[in-house]
Amino acid sequence: MKKIVSIITVMLLLLANHLTTEAANTGQLNLKSKGAVLLDSDTGAVLYAKNADKRMYPASLTKIATAIYAIEKGKLDSIVTVSGNAVRQDGTRVYLVEGEKITLKQLIQGMLVNSGNDAAVAIAEHLDGSVKQFSVHLNEYLTTTIGVRNTHFINPNGLSDKNHYTTAMDLAKITNYAIKNPVFADIFGTKVLKWKGQSWKTNILTHHRMLKGEFAYPGVTGGKTGYTVKAKQTLATTAQNANIRLTAVVLNSDLPKDKYDDTTSLFDFGFKNYKHNILKQVEVFTKDNKHYYPETDTLITESIKGSTKELNNQGILSIKNTNGQVVQLVALKYKEPIPKKVLVKSETTVEKNPQKEHLSYVTVIYGFMIIALAAIFVGVRKKFTKKF
């Protein structure tokens, strides 16, 4: 029964997430990108969405997925032998040499910071033997571990293919998941990487203009760029202020400047309107005379202007902004009613008192003595009467 309830709860949360996305679509930001999503980096709350679940090409944002998969599944200090297939990759590279030996961590750094397509393939072949097998395992990982719904990757670097696609929502979820890993977060936020390879020794600068400072925005903590002819301009960025941390993904922008402008608009919107709060474990919410509470103190996203909380029959608490839009959903725990104590027969017996028991015993003895004396008296009297 508990398993069925858990499954139902997960389904409700997925449905509610869809409803949250629909609510977020009602915003009025003038974005040029075809797809965009803004999430709370910590709670996953959907703060803004445009064509969030429409399939699009990610370009090099694919490498975010490749990086977190490699970090979690591989050994960072393991030595990778670079293949000829990796070296022959098109596009941006870190100029690996066939037969070159390099650590997995350095390849991940070269892939994320300089968007090395050769590094991405070297990672895939090292982890799973081939790009094809890597893609199978990567898709399984993204589905089961992160929970994406509309993503299918057939390579580790994002080079164009009609069967290589994702959505703004899925990429935002992947990025949100990845930045919780300290190794990934450190590389994702790297501005300058000292590169020492067999054929290339240099200082690599991040391609992300907001992270680099060319398109200045306060609080930017990490980012990844992408571009192919079919995908157009793509961008994933994280930023924070004193109240909240945000993750923004924009897809299919026509011009490089468009994706930075749209990301700025998303961050401005998020920082202006939302903040964090704590839902205390001691808080109790009631629906139809049933009581629910958070299992632990829970971080929630609230509108700066205020919020309302609404509980449904399944114990799902909706955090809504002042416009009535759902910002976040929290599954609460049912508070079992305290059963009324039913006293058994032995428990209803009056507690024994030793002093009272002693007095009762003495009373009985005296009673028997009086009865005995009375009987003797009556007997003697009868005998005395007969004699006279």
Q: Domain residues of the chain, as ranges?
A: 1-27+280-352, 56-231
Alpha-carbon 81 to chain mean position: 35
> Is 5's pLDDT higher than 60?
no
Q: How confident is the model at residue 381 (pLDDT cuts 50, 70, 90)?
A: low
Quick one: which of 258, 281, 267, 265 has its CA closest to 239? 267
Q: How confident is the model at residue 162 (pLDDT cuts 50, 70, 90)?
A: very high
Instruction: Please state the pTM of the whole predicted model.
Output: 0.81
The confidence score (pLDDT) of residue 3 equals: 45
What is the average pLDDT across 215-236?
Answer: 97
**DSSP structural state of residue 189:** T
The confidence score (pLDDT) of residue 289 equals: 87
Q: Which residues contact 54 (CB under 8 A, 6 or more apart)?
A: 34, 35, 167, 168
Catalytic site includes residue 115: yes
pLDDT digits (tens, 9 = 90+) for 121-145: 999 999 999 999 999 999 999 999 9
Catalytic site includes residue 63: yes
H-helix or E-strand spanning residue 11: helix 2-24
User: Out of 79-83, 168-172, 286-290, 345-349, which region has the weakest mean confidence (pLDDT)?
Assistant: 345-349
Quick one: which of 34, 6, 69, 42 has its CA closest to 302? 42
> Is 380's pLDDT higher than 60?
no
> Is 338's pLDDT higher than 80?
no
Q: What percent of the chain has pLDDT over 70?
A: 80
What is the average pLDDT across 33-42?
Answer: 98
DSSP states along 347-388: HHSPPP-HHHHHHHHHHHHHHHHHHHHHHHHHHHHHHHHHH-
> Cα torsion at 42, 47, 48, 49 (round to 10°)?
60
| Of 33, 41, 60, 135, catalytic | 60
> Is 118's pLDDT higher than 80?
yes
Q: Which residues contact 18 (CB under 8 A, 6 or more apart)?
A: none
Q: How confident is the model at residue 306 (pLDDT cuts 50, 70, 90)?
A: confident
Burial of 175: CB neighbours in 10 Å, binned 0-12, 13-18, 19+: buried
pLDDT digits (tens, 9 = 90+) for 254-302: 999 999 999 999 999 999 999 999 999 999 999 988 999 999 999 999 9
The confidence score (pLDDT) of residue 373 equals: 61
The confidence score (pLDDT) of residue 86 equals: 98
Catalytic site includes residue 265: no
| Of 115, 253, 303, 307, catalytic | 115
Burial of 200: CB neighbours in 10 Å, binned 0-12, 13-18, 19+: middle
Q: Does domain 56-231 have CATH number 1.20.140.10?
A: no
What is the average pLDDT across 305-334?
Answer: 91
- Average pLDDT value over all residues in the chain: 87
| Of 50, 63, 105, 224, catalytic | 63
Q: Which residues contact 168 (CB under 8 A, 6 or more apart)?
A: 35, 36, 37, 49, 50, 51, 52, 54, 56, 249, 250, 251
The confidence score (pLDDT) of residue 87 equals: 98
**Helix (H/G/I), strand (E/B), else coil: 295:** coil
**CA angle, residues 156, 160, 162, in degrees to nearest 5:** 105
User: Out of 86-95, 104-113, 152-161, 363-372, which region has the weakest mean confidence (pLDDT)?
Assistant: 363-372
